[in-house]
Amino acid sequence: MSGTDVRYGVWATIGEPRTAAALTGSGLDWVVLDQQHGHFDDRAMRETYGLTPDRSLPLLVRVRANDAGLIGRVLDAGGDGVIVPLVDSADEAAAAVAAAHHPPRGTRSWGFLPDTLRTDRVPFVAVMIETAEALAAVEEIAAVPGIDMLFVGPFDLSLRLGTTVDALLADTRPDAPLPRVLAAAAKAGLIAGAFGAEPARAAVLASLGFSWVIVTTDAGLLAAGHLQRDLAVRAG
């Protein structure tokens, strides 16, 4: 897979809506607001959406848990879709899909909110493969109707497998963890995504075949800006 086939994204954790909104115009292809390990509470999430009413790229939210109330709340607020953590089985994947869709397809509650009224809007649903249990069931998870993306969290997955992130990325045997996820996604016609966190690891993930890859974080971009400023000052 060439670099032109890859959609590179940025992961926002700081919780500052104006910074997150600016990321939608950064030249990257998609943006994730992190509610699980980041500082995006409901207010910060809604303010970010308010600052990006005409966005042309996906603005997703990693919810805190595979919980119907949390998933529905993100979508009611105007999110394009959700990334659901710690999905370990096909049943848990099916629950995430059901929570994202109104009846008759799912169980999502209806309310008098602008985005709830748009019942024809199809939410994007990604489930995270980040545990040994999820890896063992990845083919069954991928076969669940309504899943759009298998998203690998390599840091948690490497911890659960008793290895390191770099060793996980370097293992290219056909039955190795990452090739297995890629094969399951390809067979089911799903997007294969992964959290690279920084450019070097993102490049490795892209070379393996992941097509949606997080290349940096908002904090990482700010740190890089400070470094460039410091280098410019020293050079001057």
Sort 160 into a burial class: Cβ within 10 Å, 0-12 / 13-18 / 19+. Answer: middle
Cα 218 to Cα 112: distance, rounded to the nearest angstrom? 33
Which has the closest alpha carbon to 61: 72, 219, 201?
A: 72
> Has this prediction a pTM greater than 0.85?
yes
Domain positions in the chain = 3-235
The pLDDT of residue 78 is 87
The pLDDT of residue 230 is 43
Give the C-alpha distances (Å, rounded to integers) separating 188 from 9, 63, 150, 165, 199.
23, 24, 10, 26, 28
CB atoms < 10 A from the CB of 195, how many? 27
The pLDDT of residue 232 is 38
The pLDDT of residue 159 is 98
CB distance 192 to 186 below 8 Å: yes
CATH architecture of 3-235: Alpha-Beta Barrel (3.20)
Write the DSSP string, 98-130.
Answer: HHHS-TTT------SSHHHH-TT---EEEEEE-
What is the chain's pLDDT, residue by residue, as a tens digit (236 residues)? 334 589 999 999 999 999 999 999 888 999 999 999 999 999 999 999 999 987 788 999 999 999 999 999 999 988 899 999 999 999 999 999 999 998 999 999 887 665 555 556 689 999 999 999 999 999 999 999 999 999 999 999 999 999 999 999 999 999 999 999 999 999 999 999 999 999 999 999 999 999 999 999 999 988 875 444 443 333 44
Cα 82 to Cα 80: distance, rounded to the nearest angstrom? 7
The pLDDT of residue 120 is 60
